[in-house]
Structure 1
Amino acid sequence: MFDLKKNNTTPGTELTAGLTTFFTMAYIIVVNPLILSDAGVPFQQGFTATIIATIIGTLFMAVAANYPIAVAPAMGTNVYFAYTVIQAHSGIGYSEAFSALFITGILFFILSLTRLRSMLIRIIPENLKYAITSGIGLFIAFIGLRLSGIIKAHPSNLVGLGNLHSPSVVLALAGLAITLILITLNVPGAIFIGIVLTGIIAMFTGQLSFNKGFVSLPSLPEGLVAYNPVHAISDVIQFSLYPAIFSIILVTIFDTTGTVLGVAKQAGLMQGDKLPRARRTLVADSVGTLFGAIFGTTPTSAYIESASGVAAGGRTGLTSVFVALFFAIAAFFGPMISAISGIAAITSPALVIVGALMLSNVRHIVWDDFDEAFPAFIVILTMPLTSSIATGIAFGFISYPLMKMAKGKWKAVHPLVYIFAVLFVIQLVFFPH
Structure 2
Amino acid sequence: MERFFGLKEKGTNIKTESIAGLTTFLTMVYIIIVNPAVLSSAGVPFEQVYMATIIAAVTGTLIIALFANYPIAIAPGMGLNAYFASVVASQGVSYQVVFGAVFFAGLLFLLLSFTKLREMLIESIPSSLKYGITTGIGLFIAFIGLKMSGIVVPSEATMIAFGDLHQPVTLLTLFGLFLTLTLIARNVRGALFIGMITTAIVGFFFDLLHFEGIVSMPPTPVFFDIDLAGVFTNGLYTVVFAFLLVTIFDTTGTMVGVAEQAGLMKNGKLPNVKPALMADAVATTVGSAFGTSPATAYIESSTGVAAGGRTGLTSLVVAVLFIISAFFSPAISAISSLPAITAPVLIIVGCFMMEGLARINWKSFDEAFPAFAIILAMPLTSSIATGIAIGFITYPLMKLVSGKGKEVHPLIYVFGVIFIIQMAFFPAH
Q: With the length of structure 2 as denominator, give the TM-score of the two structures.
A: 0.97
1:186 equivalent in structure 2: 187
Where 1:168 maps in the other structure, the secondary structure is: helix
> Is structure 2 residue 416 aligned with structure 1 residue 421?
yes
Which of residues 58, 61, 67 in structure 2 aligns to 1:58?
61
Contact 1:134 1:359 in 2 (8 A): yes
- Answering whether residue 214 of structure 2 is matched by residue 219 of structure 1, we say no
Q: Percent identity?
A: 56
The alpha carbon displacement at 1:235 in A equals 2.3
Corresponding residue for 1:104?
105
Partners of 2:425 and 2:162 lie apart in 1 by 36
- Aligned residue for 1:72, secondary structure, equals strand
Deviation at 1:120, TM superposition (A): 0.5
Structure 1 residue identity aligned to 2:280: D
> Against the structure 1 CA distance between its residues 89 and 194, is the aligned structure 2 distance closer, same or farther, given a 3 Å change threshold?
same
Q: Give the partner amino acid of 1:218.
A: P
- How far does residue 415 in structure 1 lie from its aligned partner after superposition? 0.5
Structure 2 match to 1:344: 339
User: Unaligned regions of 5+ residues in structure 1, if any?
Assistant: none
CA RMSD across the alignment: 1.0
Q: Partner of 1:374: helix, strand, or coil?
A: helix
Give CA-to-partner distance per residue, 1:122-174, whole Å, 9 cap, x none.
00000100110000000000000000001101111111110011111110000
Q: What are the superposed Cα offsets for residues 285-313 of structure 1, whole Å, 9 maximum, x if unpaired? A: 00100100110011111000000000000
Note the C-alpha offset of 1:265.
0.9
Query: Is 1:331 equivalent to 2:353 in the alignment?
Result: no
Deviations 1:179-206 (A, max 9, x none): 0000000000100110000001101111
Does structure 1 residue 236 correspond to structure 2 residue 238?
no
In 2: Cα distance, 1:423 partner to 1:401 partner = 13
User: Which of the residues 293, 297, 300 maps onto 1:298?
Assistant: 293
CA-CA distance at 1:103 after TM superposition: 1.6
Determine the C-alpha separation between the residues in 2 that align with 1:413 and 1:221.
46
Could you tell me how far apart the structure 1 residues matched to 2:232 and 2:142 are? 33
Partners of 2:44 and 2:370 in 1: CA distance: 34
CA contact (8 A) 2:60 2:74 kept: yes
Q: Which residue of 2 aligns with 1:363?
A: 358
Q: In structure 2, what residue type is equivalent to 1:31?
A: V
Seen in structure 2, the aligned counterparts of structure 1 residues 223 and 284 have a Cα distance that, compared at 3 Å, is closer
**Partners of 2:386 and 2:239 in 1: CA distance:** 11
Find 1:381's aligned residue among 376, 385, 399. 376
CA distance in 2, matches of 1:223, 1:389: 27
What residue identity is the alignment partner of 1:309? Answer: G
Select between 100-109 and 181-190 the one with higher mean Cα deviation.
100-109
The residue identity in structure 2 corresponding to 1:369 is S
Q: Distance in 2 between matches of 1:58 and 1:95?
A: 25
TM-superposed CA distance for 1:38, in Å, is 1.2
Q: Secondary structure at the match of 1:57?
A: helix
Give the letter aligned to residue 66 of structure 2: V
Match of 1:67 among 60, 66, 70: 70
| Match of residue 80 from structure 1 | 83
Shift of 1:221: 6.1
Alpha-carbon deviation of 1:430? Answer: 2.4
Output the CA distance in 2 between the equivalents of 1:411 and 1:258.
26
TM-score by length of 1: 0.97
Query: Retained in 2: the 8 A contact 1:21–1:307?
Result: yes
Deviation at 1:372, TM superposition (A): 0.4
Match of 1:297, SS state, is coil
Query: Per-residue deviation at 1:223?
Result: 3.8
Residue 224 of structure 1 and its aligned partner are, at CA, apart by: 3.2
What residue number does 1:395 align with?
390
> Aligned to 2:260, which of 241, 265, 272?
265
Q: Give deviations 1:65-96, integer Å, cap 9, x for gaps.
A: 00000000011211111102x11222x21112
**Partner Cα distance (1:262, 1:194) in 2:** 26
> Do structure 1's residue 277 and structure 2's residue 308 form an aligned pair?
no
Stretch moving more, 271-280 or 387-396: 271-280
Structure 1 residue 28 displacement after superposition? 0.4
Alignment correspondent of 1:43: 46
* Secondary structure, counterpart of 2:153 in structure 1: strand
Contact 1:49 1:220 in 2 (8 A): no
Partner of 1:3: 6
Partner of 1:117: 118
Amino acid at match of 1:83: S
Q: Distance in 1 between matches of 2:187 and 2:267?
A: 30
Aligned to 2:141: 140
Deviation, structure 1 residue 222 = 3.9
Cα distance in 1 for residues equivalent to 2:170 and 2:282 = 39
